[in-house]
Chain A
Amino acid sequence: MLRNTRRETLVALVLIAPFLAIYGLTFVYPTVAMVNLSFTDAPLIGPGQWVGFDNYTRLAGERRFDTAFWNTAYFVALSVIPGTFVAMVIALGVSRLTGRMQALVLALFFLPYILPVSVVYRLWDWTLNFQFGIAMYVFDIWGIERVPIFKTTTWFMPAVAFVTIWWTCGFSILLFLAGLRAIPAEIYEAASLDNTGRWTMFRRITWPLLWPVTALVTTIQLILQLKIFDQVYLFSTGGRPNDNLVLVYYIFQRAFVNNQGGRAAAIAVVLFLIVVIVSVLNFQLMRLAERRK
C-alpha cells in the first residue's frame, strides 16, 4: 500500500495535540514558572524582584531547612528499605498460597492501599491516640506506661514510617508477586534436583532473580517517600510540626503560612533535584550490582 507520509504526520500531530497542550499547560509551564519564581522574592500571589541565588544561599544556614532535610532523610531510611523488605516477605508468603485463598489474602494485604490518607490517619489515631487509642488499653493491661506516640519526637517518625509501610506496601507486594510468577517453575525443579535447601534456594535462586523487581520497587518507594507530606501534616496536628518538619511540609509553610512564594519555590527546586539524583543513582547502582553478581 502506498502511504502518504506527510498526511500521516499531520494526523499524528492532530492526535497528540490535546495531550501536548495539557502537558504543556499543567506540567511544563508551571515547572518553568516555578524555577523562575525561585530566583525572585515574590509572595505567594503576584510578581517579585529578581534576587538571583539568594533564596538558595539562604537555605544553607537555615535551621528549619536543616530539620526538614534530615527528617526527610530519616523517614526515607525508615520506610523505603524496611517497606521493600516487608513487601518481599509478604509476597513470598502469598505466592505459596493458591487459587481463591491467594486472591483473598492478597486482597486483604492490598486493602489499605486503596484507602485515602485521611482514613488512614483516623484509623491509626484511634489505635495509637494517647488518651483513647485501643493500643494504649493493651499497654495498660500489660502494665506498660502509655506513650504519646505522635507527640514525642523519638516516636513520631518511626510511627509514621510504620503507618506508611502498612498503607503502601500492597502495591509493592503486587510487583513482587508478578516478579515471582515470572520465575519459571522448571528452574525450581532443576534446583531441587541439584540438592538445593530452602535457604540456598532463596539466596541463590529467588533473590537474584527478583533483583530487577527489587530495584524497581525501591526506586518507586524512594520517589514516593521523598515527597512525604500528608501523613506528617495530619499526625502532627496538635503536636510539634516544627520538630517533625519534612521538605514538602516546609515548602507548604513557606508558601502558605509565611506567604513567601519565591523561597518556597527554591526549596521545591532543591527537592526536585534530590528526587531526580537519588532515584537515578539508586536505579543505576542496583543495576550495576546485578551485573557484578
Chain B
Amino acid sequence: MAEIILDKVSKSFGSVRVINEVSLTIQSGEFVVFLGPSGSGKSTLLRMIAGLETIDDGRLLIGGKESQTLPPGQRNVAMVFQNYALYPHMTVRDNMAFGLRNIKMAAPEVERRVQDAARMLEMDALLDRRPSELSGGQRQRVAIGRAIVKEPAAFLFDEPLSNLDAALRVRTRVELAELHQRMNSTMIYVTHDQTEAMTMSDRIVILNDCRIEQIGTPMEVYTRPASRFVAGFIGSPSMNFLKGSYKDGAMTLLDGSRIAARVAVPEADTYELGIRPEAVKVCEGEGDTKGQVKVVEHLGERTLVHVHLSDGSAIVAQDGGRSQVQPGDEVALRFDISELHLFDSSGKAWHAE
C-alpha cells in the first residue's frame, strides 16, 4: 500500500510526444481508473509507472521513493496484463512463485503466499495445471494471483477484462472491486470501457491527446464534466450537443427555440448546449422545443426517442418504459435546465447553477 505521485512526467517516442507533463497524486489505498480512447496515452502512462517504458522527464514517487530510474522489478508494483502474460511452460503454482523465488524468498513463505492467494481466488485445485489447460477466466485469476503473492505497493491493471466474454466480465468486475476492498491496496486500472471506470473506481482520470482532461469521482465527471470531450465520452447514450447563441440568461437554438440557462458564462457568444438524454423528456402540450420522431428504442424501463428538430439537428430524449410514441410523430420536448452545460469554442464547460 503506497501513495503514487507523478510529477510533470513526459514521454516521447522519437519526435512524437505521447505523454505531456502529466502530474497526478494517487492516494494510498485508492482505486484509480485511467480512462480514455485508444491512443490517448493511458496504457503508456501505466507502463511508465511499471517501469516498462522509460520516463523522459519528471519524477515518479512510489511510497515516497524516487522510482523513475528504477528497473521494473524494484518498484514494488505488480501488473496484470491484457493477455495475462502467464509463463506457458510453468504450472499455476510456479507462475505465482516465480517472482518470489527470484528474490530468494524462503520456500515455506513462498508456499504460504501461494496457498493464501489460491484460496482467496478459489483456485486451489488448479495449482498443478499449466496455463494451456485453463479457461480464459481461470487464466485471469492466475494473473491476478501472481500479482497478489508479491504483496506489492500498488497493483497495475492493463485492460485486464477485455479478453473475457460479457457475462464473465461483469462477474470479474465485481470480484475485482471486492478484492480491492479486502486488500485495501492502491490500484491503477487502465480501460477504455466507461462502465468499468464508473463502477469500480474511487476516482477516474480521463486522458485525451497525451494529457489529463479531468480527474474526479465517477459522479463528478458524469455530472460536472470539465470539457466537451469528457461530456461526450462519459455516459451512454452520450450527451446531446446543440449549437446556439447565449444572451441574457437564455440559449437560442438554431431552430429558434429559447432555453432558459442559468449559467455563469463570461460573455454573450455562440456556445454549444450539452444535455444528457435523461434530462430531455417527451412531454404533453408546449415544451421547450419540438421535433419529429425518427427512431424509437424500447429499453424496458425507459425508452430512447431519437428526434430531429426543425433545423435538422438530432437529439435523443427519454420517455417512460410504456411510451406510445411512434416514428413520424411530432413531439414536444422539455429540458431539465438544472442539468444544462454550455461549452465554448475551446471545449471548456460551464454548468447550470
Partners in one complex: yes
A: residues with CB less than 8 A from B are 184, 186-187, 189-197, 200, 204-205, 208-209, 211, 293
B54: shortest Cβ distance to chain A, in Å? 13
Contact B85 A187 (CB under 8 A): yes
The reply on B88 being an interface residue by CB < 8 A is yes
Per the 8 Å Cβ criterion, residues 71-103 of B in contact with A are: 71-74, 77-79, 81-83, 85-89, 98-99, 102-103
Whole-angstrom distance from the CB of A62 to the nearest CB of chain B?
A: 47
Residue B164 at the chain A interface, CB threshold 8 Å: no
Cβ-neighbour of A195 out of B82, B88, B103 (below 8 A):
B103
A293 to B82, CA, bound (A): 27
The answer, yes or no, to whether B52 is at the interface (CB within 8 Å) is yes
CB of A192 within 8 A of CB of B85, answer no
Query: What total of A-B pairs shows CB separation below 8 Å?
Result: 60
State which residues 118-152 of B face A: CB under 8 Å: 146
Most buried by B among A187, A190, A204: A190
Asked whether B50 is an interface residue with its Cβ less than 8 Å from the other chain, the reply is: yes
A-B contact pairs, 24 of them (CB 8 A): A184-B85, A186-B81, A186-B85, A187-B87, A189-B72, A189-B79, A189-B81, A190-B86, A191-B87, A192-B52, A193-B51, A193-B52, A194-B98, A194-B102, A194-B146, A195-B73, A195-B74, A195-B99, A196-B73, A197-B102, A200-B102, A204-B98, A208-B89, A211-B89
Residues of A within 8 A of B82 (CB): 186
Give Cα A193 to B98, complex, Å: 11
Q: How far is the CB of A209 from chain B (nearest CB, A)?
A: 6
| Nearest CB of A to B2, in Å | 16
**Which residues of A sit under 8 angstroms from B86, Cβ to Cβ?**
190
CA distance A71 to B78 in the complex (A): 55
A186 cross-chain contacts in B, Cβ below 8 A:
81-83, 85
Contacts of A196 in B (CB 8 A): 73, 98-99, 102
A194 to B86, CA, bound (A): 12
Asked, given contacts A195-B74, A195-B102, whether A190 binds B89 with beta carbons under 8 Å apart, the answer is no
Expressed in whole angstroms, the minimum distance between the Cβ of A146 and any Cβ of chain B is 50
Shortest Cβ distance from residue B86 to the other chain A in the assembled complex, whole angstroms: 8
Taking CB atoms, residues of chain B closer than 8 Å to A195 are 73-74, 99, 102-103
Top 7 closest A-B pairs, CB basis? A194-B99, A195-B73, A186-B85, A190-B85, A195-B102, A208-B89, A192-B72
Q: How far is the CA of A160 from the CA of B83 in the complex (A)?
A: 47
Since A190-B87, A194-B73, A208-B89 are in contact, a sample of 17 more A-B pairs with Cβ atoms closer than 8 Å, ordered by chain A residue number, is A184-B83, A186-B81, A186-B83, A186-B85, A187-B87, A189-B81, A189-B85, A190-B146, A191-B87, A192-B52, A193-B72, A193-B73, A193-B77, A193-B79, A194-B146, A197-B102, A204-B98
Query: How many Å lie between the Cα of A200 and that of B98 in the bound state?
Result: 10
Query: Contact: B73 with A192, CB < 8 Å?
Result: yes
Give the distance in Å from the alpha carbon of A194 to the alpha carbon of B85 in the complex: 12
A193 touches B89 (CB 8 A): no
Contact check, A209 vs B88: say whether CB atoms are below 8 A apart: yes
Question: Which residues of B, 59-81, contact A by the 8 Å Cβ criterion?
Answer: 71-74, 77-79, 81
B102 near A190 with CB under 8 A, answer no
Closest to A293 in B: B89
A197-B146 Cα distance, complex, nearest whole Å: 18
Q: Give A109 to B146 CA distance when docked, in angstroms.
A: 40
Residue of A nearest to B88 (CB): A209
B186 → chain A closest CB, angstroms: 16
Q: Which residues of B contact A204 (CB under 8 A)?
A: 98
Residue from A193, A197, A205 with most neighbouring chain B CB atoms (10 Å): A193
- Tell me whether A205 and B83 are in contact in the complex, defined as CB-CB below 8 angstroms, given that A193-B73, A193-B99, A195-B99 are known contacts: no
